[in-house]
Amino acid sequence: MTDGVILAAHAVDPSLETFENDLWWISLIKLLGLFVLLLLLTLFTINYERKVVARMAVRPGPNQVGPKGWLQSLTDGLKLPFKEEIIPKTADKVVYFIAPVISATVAFTAFAVIPFGGVVNMFGHQTALQLTDVPVSVLVLLACSSMAVYGVVLAGWASGSTYPLLGGLRSSAQMISYEVAMGLSIVAVFMTAGTMSTSQIVKAQAHGEPVEMFGVTVTTPGWYAVQLLPSFLIYLIAAVGETNRAPFDLPEAESELVGGFHTEYSSFKFALFFLAEYINMITVSAFCTTLFLGGWRAPWPITAVWEGANSGYWALLWFFGKVLILLFGFIWLRATLPRMRYDQFMRFGWKVLIPINLIWILALAFIKVVRSGALSDEARWITTGVISVTVLALAWGWPAKKKPRQLSIEEQLAHRPPGSFPVPPMDLQVPPSPRARRAVAERAPATVGGDSESKEV
């Protein structure tokens, strides 16, 4: 039986040795294919977002360029490099040019360690549908997301303008804050899979883990989105904040900062920022698919009916199907939720997501220690009792915030500082000015039997 027949019958998971044996021209083909694939995915995602948002807003959306408007993003991409480029006189020329290059480069680099499928036959050679893999691939992805902060901050600073600088500072604080929550959500995946290699994390989700509960052995679902549900939900929230997408698009808030850190950018440089934003969306979606949704493997109902669902190039279909569902979630949020206030957003990241994540990691570590049998039965019961009593005590004695009593008008006047002016209430109906009343009187028709000349009120 040949290797091709074996691969058609069973899915072969790539290992680190698989990438060492790749020929140089195979690696070059995968590199160029990945670059072209990301460009096509970006063009598709832009049009995908426009059409979904238009459908949710009950309007046509793009429908003129190409079949049903699907070439609109392609024409926009061809138009941007030929538009006039305007560079501010106060800009730092070197940093101004480097900033968009950094954002676009790290966005492309992050996809190098994401697996699209198992081992396939490519021009007579066995290779994995992944550019490369290392024992710390997940850290490579986190490093690329950290480097993206530099492009945004440098773009805001190098423009020599106030609003881009504010947008860059906002973005740096936001991306760093939510990167902490994202990193902690991935810790649970490390603890469960026992590896940081992306291909091995996908392999660890191939089959569920047998767990004995009340004397009955139950097989848990393979996907970490089910086993590690708190980490999965926190990752989804942190990914939206990390990519500066609505309702967390505060670095680009048009109502406050004109356009944010890229206000002073135009032509091809603006296109690079636009490209980096959408590739980052695709990257975090692909990363989430790899860590929590079984990667390139088909979901359970399909694998139960079709044995060869995970073989060959079919893996690309399942992988990008999951990515498109996650991208739809990004678009759905943009069309549904309003923009948050900046202090609420930062408070949510530091005071809600990170503490919950830390508590969940400690709880998961305790569960694994208990299941490994490292603790005796007495120690398990004592530890469980102490944790339960502590949680109940905190829940019972948590100080509730008392709602302040509404002061009357007299009390508000009494508490007013001396020499201050009274502030009218927001719903105060101010009467129109004399000029406005005169204009209304002049436009009013003359009454029957009355004076034809308008009178001033």
Label residue 285 by pLDDT band (50, 70, 90). very high
**pLDDT of amino acid 368:** 79
CB 194 within 8 A of CB 135: no
pLDDT above 50: residue 5: no
Rounded-to-integer distance, Cα 47 and Cα 49, Å: 5
Q: What is the arithmetic mean of pLDDT over 123-149?
A: 85
The 8-class DSSP code of residue 338 comes to P
Tokens standing for residue 235:
């990752």
**pLDDT of amino acid 274:** 83
Domain boundaries along the sequence of the chain: 3-77+84-374
The 8-class DSSP code of residue 213 comes to E
Rounded-to-integer distance, Cα 254 and Cα 372, Å: 53
**pLDDT of amino acid 402:** 66
Q: Which of 160-164, 185-189, 235-239, 332-336 has the lowest mean pLDDT?
A: 160-164
CB 235 within 8 A of CB 292: yes
Mark out the alpha helices in 57-131 (DSSP H runs). 72-79, 93-109
Label residue 326 by pLDDT band (50, 70, 90). very high
Q: What is the arithmetic mean of pLDDT over 113-119?
A: 87
Within 8 A by CB and 6+ apart from 130, the residues are: 14, 19, 30, 113, 114, 115, 116, 117, 198, 199
pLDDT above 50: residue 393: yes
Q: What is the arithmetic mean of pLDDT over 177-201?
A: 88
pLDDT above 50: residue 390: yes
**pLDDT of amino acid 288:** 92
pLDDT above 50: residue 6: no
Higher-pLDDT residue of 316 and 399 is 316
Name the packing angle between helices 354-372 and 162-193 (round to 10°): 10
Q: For the stretch 357-390, what's the b/e string if a residue is b when 16 or more beta carbons lie within 10 angstroms of its beta carbon?
A: beebbeebeeeeeeeeeebeeeeeeeeeeeeeee
pLDDT above 50: residue 456: no
Q: pLDDT tens, 11-49?
A: 567 777 677 777 888 889 989 989 999 989 999 999 999
**pLDDT of amino acid 9:** 40
**pLDDT of amino acid 346:** 85
Label residue 166 by pLDDT band (50, 70, 90). confident
Give the global pTM.
0.77
Q: Which of 23-32, 117-126, 299-308 has the lowest mean pLDDT?
A: 299-308
% of the chain at pLDDT higher than 90: 9
**pLDDT of amino acid 322:** 93
E strand or H helix at 238, and its extent? helix 229-242
Tokens standing for residue 374:
């490292």
pLDDT above 80: residue 193: yes
Rounded-to-integer distance, Cα 335 and Cα 56, Å: 7
Label residue 350 by pLDDT band (50, 70, 90). confident
The 8-class DSSP code of residue 417 comes to P
- In this structure, the strands spanning 125-128 and 210-213 are unpaired
**Structure-token match 């830390």, residue found:** 358
C-alpha distances (whole Å) from 60 to each of 65, 325, 329 are 13, 22, 21
243 φ, ψ to 5°? -90, 5
Bridge partner list, 119: 128
Comparing CA positions, the residue from 298, 127, 301 lying closest to residue 206 is 298
CA of residue 436 relative to chain centroid, distance: 51
CB 259 within 8 A of CB 273: no
pLDDT above 80: residue 324: yes
- In degrees, to the nearest 5, what angle opens at C-alpha 407 toward C-alphas 401 and 413? 140
**pLDDT of amino acid 254:** 67
Q: Which of 96-105, 139-148, 253-262 has the lowest mean pLDDT?
A: 253-262
Tokens standing for residue 10:
């069973």
Mean pLDDT of the chain: 79
Comparing CA positions, the residue from 290, 245, 297, 260 lying closest to residue 45 is 245
Give DSSP secondary structure letters for 169-188.
HHHHHHHHHHHHHHHHHHHH
Within 8 A by CB and 6+ apart from 55, the residues are: 61
Within 8 A by CB and 6+ apart from 327, the residues are: 45, 48, 49, 281, 282, 285
Q: What is the arithmetic mean of pLDDT over 433-444?
A: 73
Higher-pLDDT residue of 86 and 291 is 291
Most confident of 106-115, 334-343, 444-453: 106-115
Q: What is the arithmetic mean of pLDDT over 403-418?
A: 74
pLDDT above 70: residue 50: yes
Within 8 A by CB and 6+ apart from 374, the residues are: none
Label residue 391 by pLDDT band (50, 70, 90). low
**pLDDT of amino acid 292:** 92
CB 179 within 8 A of CB 145: yes
